[in-house]
């Protein structure tokens, strides 16, 4: 390192990023880390980014635990030479001031410009406040523990997170209980009594919430509903699955049909950017995938030019990586249309919220046996309900209806897929 102490700060990816949630550390305090090694994972928007160590050195402090959400530029860790004394690192942490983060960085570096000089230990750096790590202090506050009662086992008696955890465990094993938070006047209950739990939104969930709220409030949604008979489509799927190109699902066939319909109706295959309607030449279809962290919509690029088997393989890969937070930013950015399928959960029909800047989204229900009229006679057939949500600023009713009619025709005549 060119300096004895180096700050690790919450990186910034994209102009709109203001916070990130730490999902994992790959090093521990005291561990030597080489420049370029994976240091931590940060969740932002709909993906998890791996952050590489910007310098080589010893990780001396971790200031944000797994699960913590920090602002861009916030100090989350400190590298320092092994011979830098603890009070000097404490003083650096206390005196650190985040750099201006109102710009687009050139990559995933977790470093920010350090102060012009490394602050020297102040006379008060050896007092009680300086001998408590920031993580330990936050943990004690969260547990209702008087930090002054915790004995530090670190250098110079410094209190670490582990010391707080050990103290909390001692209390739970028979010592006096930490002060409990106010219960709003409820009567005393046994320790096993049920109580509400609070869980802070992750960056991904917060971003989803913000964008869906904006979509619902700012986009004039309207819906068009159509029923599609699946008899021929199910037969087509069975024939494809009997071949050697791999298994396909009904949803893969729907994605393929949707892509072909989109290129025939470019107004639906568009994005609204400011006051411009940008019609795309290819159908980049987003496929909604449920993950533990929230809804993710990876993109099947140019699906209109891919076979059903190709789409099936790509969707399996994208869905698996979506559930394990392995998608790249390019794989979730720039789609022209979204297909959301809840049929596998037995949902008959539902309304989906448009994912801006897209101008429409297709909600797919469950294919179920229903009584239909065929040739003037009642018959039983598998039928699915499709609901198209449209942005009325771009997609007029007739345009949306024509798109659905084309999609229905393709699905009921799947030899063209």
**Residues labelled catalytic:** 392
Instruction: Report whether 313 contacts 294 (CB < 8 A).
Output: no
Instruction: Report whether 209 contacts 215 (CB < 8 A).
Output: no
Chain Cα centroid distance, residue 119: 38
Instruction: Report whether 289 contacts 312 (CB < 8 A).
Output: no
* Spatial separation of the C-alpha atoms in residues 315 and 297, rounded to whole Å: 11
* Spatial separation of the C-alpha atoms in residues 375 and 383, rounded to whole Å: 17
Phi and psi torsions of 350, nearest 5°: -160, 165
Instruction: Report whether 107 contacts 77 (CB < 8 A).
Output: no
Q: Kindly tell me the burial class for residue 376, based on how many C-beta atoms sit within 10 Å of its own C-beta (0-12, 13-18, 19 or more).
A: exposed
Q: Kindly tell me the burial class for residue 16, based on how many C-beta atoms sit within 10 Å of its own C-beta (0-12, 13-18, 19 or more).
A: exposed
**Cβ contacts of 277 within 8 Å, gap of 6 or more:** 267, 270, 271, 359, 394
């Amino acid at each position: 390192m060119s300096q004895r102490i180096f700050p690790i700060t919450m990186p910034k990816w994209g102009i709109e990023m203001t916070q990130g949630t730490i999902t994992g550390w790959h090093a521990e305090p005291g561990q030597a880390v080489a420049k370029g090694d994976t240091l931590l994972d940060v969740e932002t928007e709909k993906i998890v980014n791996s952050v590489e160590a910007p310098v080589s050195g010893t990780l001396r402090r971790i200031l944000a635990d797994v699960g913590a959400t920090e602002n861009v530029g916030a100090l989350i860790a400190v590298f320092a030479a092994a011979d830098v004394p603890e009070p000097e690192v404490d003083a650096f942490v206390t005196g650190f001031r985040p750099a201006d983060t109102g710009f687009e960085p050139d990559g995933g570096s977790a470093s920010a410009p350090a102060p012009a000089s490394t602050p020297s230990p102040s006379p008060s750096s050896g007092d009680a406040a300086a001998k408590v790590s920031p993580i330990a202090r936050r943990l004690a506050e969260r547990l209702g523990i008087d930090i002054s009662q915790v004995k530090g086992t670190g250098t110079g008696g410094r209190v670490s997170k582990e010391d707080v955890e050990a103290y909390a465990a001692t209390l739970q094993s028979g010592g006096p209980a930490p002060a409990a938070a106010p219960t709003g006047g409820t009567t005393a209950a046994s320790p096993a009594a049920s109580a509400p739990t609070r869980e802070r939104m992750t960056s991904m969930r917060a971003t989803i919430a913000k964008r869906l709220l904006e979509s619902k409030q700012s986009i004039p949604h309207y819906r068009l509903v159509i029923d599609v008979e699946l008899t021929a489509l199910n037969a087509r799927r069975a024939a494809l699955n009997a071949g050697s190109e791999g298994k396909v699902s009904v949803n893969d066939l729907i994605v393929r049909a949707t892509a072909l319909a989109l290129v025939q109706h470019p107004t639906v295959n568009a994005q609204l950017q400011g006051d411009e309607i940008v019609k795309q030449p290819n159908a980049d279809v987003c496929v909604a995938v449920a993950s533990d962290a929230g809804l993710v919509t990876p993109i099947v690029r140019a699906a209109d030019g891919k076979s059903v088997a190709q789409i099936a393989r790509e969707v399996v890969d994208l869905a698996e990586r979506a559930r394990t937070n392995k998608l790249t930013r390019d794989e979730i950015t720039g789609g022209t249309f979204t297909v959301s399928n809840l049929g596998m959960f037995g949902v008959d029909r539902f309304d989906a919220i448009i994912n801006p800047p897209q101008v429409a989204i297709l909600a797919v229900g469950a294919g179920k046996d229903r009584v239909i009229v065929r040739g003037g006679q009642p018959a039983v057939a598998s039928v699915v309900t499709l609901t198209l949500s449209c942005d009325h600023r771009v997609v007029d009713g007739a345009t949306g209806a024509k798109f659905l009619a084309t999609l229905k025709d393709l699905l009921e005549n799947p030899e063209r897929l």
